[in-house]
Amino acid sequence: MEPGTSTGCSARTLAACVIGGIVLGASVLALHLAGPAAIPSLPPLDALRRRLRRRRRRPVRVYMDGCFDMMHYGHCNALRQARALGDELIVGVISDDEIKANKGPPVTPLHERMIMVRAVKWVDDVIPDAPYAITEEFMNKLFTEYNIDYIIHGDDPCLLPDGTDAYALAKKAGRYKQIKRTEGVSTTDIVGRMLLCVRERSSSDAHNHSSLQRQFSSGHGQKVDDSGSGSGTRVSHFLPTSRRIVQFSNSRGPGPDSRIVYIDGAFDLFHAGHVEILRLARELGDFLLVGIHTDQTISSTRGRHRPIMNLHERSLSVLACRYVDEVIIGAPWDVSKDMITTFNISSVVHGTIAENMDFMEDDSNPYAVPIAMGIYCRLESPLDITTSTIIRRIVANHEAYQKRNEKKEASEKKYYESKSFVNGE
Q: What is the mean pLDDT of residues 143-150?
A: 96
Instruction: Work out the mean pLDDT of the chain and round it to a whole number.
Output: 80
> Do the strands 287-293 and 150-154 form a parallel or antiparallel pair, or are they unpaired?
unpaired
Flag whether pLDDT at 260 surpasses 80. Answer: yes
48 or 347, higher pLDDT: 347
Flag whether pLDDT at 313 surpasses 70. Answer: yes
Per-residue b/e over 275-299, b at no fewer than 16 CB within 10 Å?
bbbbbbbbeebebbbbbbbbbbbbb
pLDDT digits (tens, 9 = 90+) for 368-397: 999 999 999 999 999 999 999 998 888 887
> Which range scores top for mean pLDDT: 42-51, 68-77, 342-351, 411-420?
342-351
pLDDT of residue 87: 97
CB-based contact 366:337 (threshold 8 Å): no
| Angstrom distance (rounded) from CA 201 to CA 57 | 60
As annotated, the residues of the chain forming the CATH 3.40.50.620 domain(s) are 57-179, 224-231+244-385
Q: What is the mean pLDDT of residues 361-366?
A: 79
Nearest alpha carbon to residue 148 among 93, 90, 94: 90
DSSP assignment letter at 165: B
pLDDT digits (tens, 9 = 90+) for 220-236: 333 444 443 343 444 56
Nearest alpha carbon to residue 78 among 182, 187, 186, 188: 182
Lowest-pLDDT range, 128-137, 147-156, 159-168, 235-244? 235-244
CB-based contact 289:327 (threshold 8 Å): yes
- Homologous superfamily (CATH) of 57-179 is HUPs (3.40.50.620)
Helices and strands (H, E) in the chain, number of each type = 17, 10
pLDDT digits (tens, 9 = 90+) for 24-55: 555 545 545 555 544 445 556 666 656 655 55
192 or 178, higher pLDDT: 178
pLDDT of residue 161: 74
Q: What is the mean pLDDT of residues 174-199?
A: 79
Flag whether pLDDT at 422 surpasses 90. Answer: no
pLDDT digits (tens, 9 = 90+) for 399-411: 666 665 565 555 5
Nearest alpha carbon to residue 115 among 280, 285, 352, 308: 280
Nearest alpha carbon to residue 66 among 167, 189, 184, 176: 167
| Angstrom distance (rounded) from CA 348 to CA 350 | 7
402 or 95, higher pLDDT: 95
Q: What is the assigned CATH class of domain 224-231+244-385?
A: alpha beta
